[in-house]
Structure 1
Amino acid sequence: MVPVLIKLSAILLIVTMCSGDVSELVGQPLSDVCLGCICQAISGCRQETVCEGDHCGLFHITSAYWSDAGTPTINGLAPDHPDAFQSCVLDPYCAAQTVQGYMRKFGQDCNGDGVTNCFDYMMINHHGGGACHAPLQLERLGRRRLALFSQCRF
């Protein structure tokens, strides 16, 4: 688990450095470690992850999620370009920016412990911004993701 988190953090750091503008990272709700934990719980952080139905990329992002996150793009594509969604969510950096944007909009204390933290962000990523209060253990996929997420060390 730890090597995967280190690998994702390294990928995000390299992509960030190559992007030339790290000012976007100021004030982000999720740390790189938290993003790595969510990535591991959602997709195993497999770089070869593509679209499965309407969910795409390392974080299984849908078009609606991407839109709610502010439609980030790469390579100068306009958000209404036919390839904008898929090219973004299949790119690790743009996908991470999408998650950050979504969490800025929907971040909240989902489990009622008085703190908004990575566990809450994982619940939001799984259930969506409006339904994050539902327990993960009620469904098989939620239990699987919860077990994988629980292996993370912050």
Structure 2
Amino acid sequence: MIKFLVFLVVVTLYFHGAHTQYDNLPVTQSCLGCICEGISGCNVTSTCQGEVCGPFRITWPYWADAGKPTVKNEGPDSATAYRNCALDTFCSALAVQGYMQKYQQDCNGDGKIDCDDYAAIHKLGGYGCRGQLPSPFAERYQQCKKIVGGLGK
């Protein structure tokens, strides 16, 4: 949970400093933190393992669907753009935001789009989010959600 708190502080400070460009992002910072906690224990020092990279464990297709955000104005077609973004805390959070903007939907049928839907989209994909969340992701996400509370978006 300490990693989540560090992540939340970093992302909050960055988004706060650039709030005009990032005012209408679909996922709240708390929700992003709980998705991060669920997927990797919010390990911001994690590297690539197989086809997934970074604290959000994103793949190249996920990053591409998210709009190919980059770090330090690197060109999105650079051979290192995906990896650099996925391993960067802010850029990978921005990739999650872009993916959610593209695929946001009511996955659990409760009539609203909230953090539970975004967690399902992140873990199960934009076209498979109606399925059951697997362990241990589901447990870590729910535990974080209980601690943070009030995750509307």
TM-score over 0.5 for the alignment?
Answer: yes
CA distance in 1 between partners of 2:24 and 2:88 (Å): 21
Letter in 2 for 1:11: V
Aligned length: 146
Letter in 1 for 2:24: G
Output aligned runs, 1:4-83, within 5 Å: 4-16=3-15, 21-83=18-80
Contact kept? 1:5, 1:33, Cα under 8 Å: no
- The correspondence for 1:149, drawn from 117, 141, 147, is 141
Q: Which runs of 4+ in 1 moved over 6 A?
A: none
Structure with more of its chain in helix, by fraction: 1
What is the RMSD computed on CA atoms of the aligned residues?
A: 1.4
Q: Secondary structure of 1:75's partner? A: coil
The structure with higher relative contact order (CA 8 Å, sep 6+) is 2
Residue 68 of structure 1: how far off its partner (Å):
0.3
Matched, 1:119 2:111: no
- The correspondence for 1:85, drawn from 78, 82, 87, is 82
Residue 15 of structure 1: how far off its partner (Å):
3.4
* Structure 2 unaligned spans of 5+: none
Residue 143 of structure 1: how far off its partner (Å):
2.1
**Residue identity (%):** 39
**TM-score (normalizing by structure 2):** 0.90
CA distance in 1 between partners of 2:27 and 2:44 (Å): 20
CA distance in 2 between partners of 1:49 and 1:37 (Å): 16
* Structure 1 unaligned spans of 5+: 137-141
Q: Secondary structure of 2:74's partner? A: coil
**TM-score (normalizing by structure 1):** 0.89
Q: Secondary structure of 2:9's partner? A: helix
